[in-house]
Amino acid sequence: MAHARLLLKLSRRFEAVAPTGLRHSAHVANYKLGTIIIHADNGAVAAKIRQLSQRLSNELSKGGTECSGIEVKVQPRQIPSQTISSTQKPLSATAFCTLQTTAESLPEGPLRNALDNLLKRAAKREESPDAQ
């Protein structure tokens, strides 16, 4: 319980002394044997905190807790992954005809095959508009 209070105190002190841009991108993770462990959201923030570590260490020591050094680790925050479903957009009649004419004028090859596949899928979607 005392360790949790100490971490809370160090967190508040870190937020008070850290530069504005770093306050929301890093947080105090632990305290061991006079060393404060700080987790940074990315490498750039970690590098900046390492540059400022001596000043931050001195400022954090003024809060009453012995701070002989700062250890910085990159620990990205977990962001819930959101799947982005692709929306199928139908081809207009003009686009369909233009692509069909282009495909017919091309020699056999990967580009023509790709256009033929695109046109087949577009035709299937037109036949069954419920399938999305």
Give the residue among 90, 87, 72 at the shortest CA–CA distance from 36: 72
Q: pLDDT per residue over 39-67, tens digit each?
A: 999 999 999 999 999 999 998 888 788 89
Give the range of the structural domain holding residue 55, as residue numbers without chain letter: 2-74
Three-state SS at 27: strand
Query: What does the mean pLDDT of the chain come to?
Result: 87
If asked whether residues 19 and 49 sit together in one domain, one would say yes
DSSP state letter for 109: S
**pLDDT class of 71 with cuts at 50, 70, 90:** very high
Q: Are 65 and 9 in contact (CB under 8 A)?
A: yes
Band (pLDDT 50/70/90 cuts) for residue 132 is very low
DSSP assignments along 57-103, one per residue: HHHHHTTTS---EEEEEE-PPP------PPPP-PPPHHHHHHHHHHH
- Classify residue 87: in a domain, yes or no: no
Residues 14, 44, single domain; the answer is: yes
Same domain, 67 and 6: yes
Q: At 107, is the secondary structure helix, strand, or coil? A: coil
Q: Are residues 7 and 60 in the same domain?
A: yes
What is the distance, to the nearest Å, from the Cα of residue 60 to the centroid of all Cα atoms in its chain? 29
Backbone φ, ψ for residue 109 (5° rounding)? 170, -175
**Comparison of pLDDT for 14 and 124, the residue scoring more:** 14
Q: 15 near 49, Cβ under 8 Å?
A: no
- How many structural domains is the chain composed of? 2
- Output the pTM of the full model: 0.57
The CATH number assigned to the domain holding 48 equals 3.30.300.180
Q: What is the pLDDT of residue 31?
A: 94
pLDDT of res. 106: 92
The reply to whether 57 and 106 lie within a common domain is: no
Contact residues for 64 (Cβ-Cβ < 8 A; gap 6+): 9
